[in-house]
Amino acid sequence: MFSRIVSSALLAGAAAGLIAALLQLVFVQPVLLHAELYESGALVHFGAAPVSAQQPLPGFQPMRDGLSILFTMFTYTGFALVLVAVMLLADAQGLPVNGRVGILWGLAGFIAVIFAPGLSLPPEVPGVAAADVLTRQVWWVSTVIAAAVALWLIAFGRGWPAWGVAVVLLLVPHLIGAPEPESFAGPVPPEISALFTARAFGVAMAGWAVLGIVASHLWQREARRQAGDGAA
């Protein structure tokens, strides 16, 4: 069983992470590089001297982009370990594990890990004002845990009491509020920040959906293989 979990998670995480990393390079990286030009002062927002916003961006950077791809694959492998562990719990309770269920779990993971905390603490480009890192991390982790428990209660809870607790868990972190900077001033135009957040959400949703589909497929394949070995 342990080898089944690890093998499914490693393959699913690597596949989903690679796809997410490539999508990031195409859709998110250009926005990030554009923001870095404002952070470094190469471009100026509301500056005295007009500077062209069409300044060429750096091309493919093997070291930076390669490390980004590798880190994304590692990150999604960690997500996959959690997702496959949930599949194990579902399988133990006799619940189906298939592609349709897998994509739903993948989207649930996106909601818990990305969308729920991102409602009040969205992904940030370089150069924007931000609160203390430790405070943001504590709020982010608490929100992810609360959202994950809430989604579990929505999916497997029985009756309105469980669903009511789920609603409270989803709302409380945002009612408390994410840590905010003392000032919202920054060199990066808000249009770039908004585009970065939207594309980061879109790429993450695609990555989690792929992760759910691939993980469920590999889980089924490993189940069939072990069943065949047991019959033999």
- Provide the pLDDT for residue 50: 44
State whether 28 and 142 are in the same domain. no
- Provide the pLDDT for residue 226: 66
Structure tokens at 209: 């959906």
Determine, yes or no, domain membership for 124. Answer: yes
Which pTM value belongs to this model? 0.86
Helices 62-92 and 190-231: crossing angle, nearest 10°?
50
State whether 67 and 153 are in the same domain. no
The range of the structural domain enclosing residue 69 comes to 2-129+191-231
How many structural domains comprise the chain? 2
State whether 164 and 218 are in the same domain. no
Contacts of 23 by beta carbon, 8 Å cutoff, 6+ apart: 203, 206, 207
- Provide the pLDDT for residue 55: 56
How many residues belong to the chain?
Answer: 232
State whether 44 and 13 are in the same domain. yes
State whether 27 and 80 are in the same domain. yes
Return d(Cα 145, Cα 138) in angstroms, integer: 11
pLDDT in tens, the chain (232 residues): 677 778 888 999 999 999 999 999 999 998 888 888 887 777 777 654 444 455 556 666 778 888 999 999 999 999 999 998 888 887 777 777 777 888 999 999 999 999 999 999 999 888 777 788 899 999 999 999 999 999 989 988 888 999 999 999 999 999 999 998 877 667 788 888 899 999 999 999 999 999 999 998 887 877 677 666 655 5
Return d(Cα 206, Cα 72) in angstroms, integer: 13
- Provide the pLDDT for residue 18: 96
Given the structure tokens 């203390």, which residue do they identify? 132
State whether 32 and 72 are in the same domain. yes
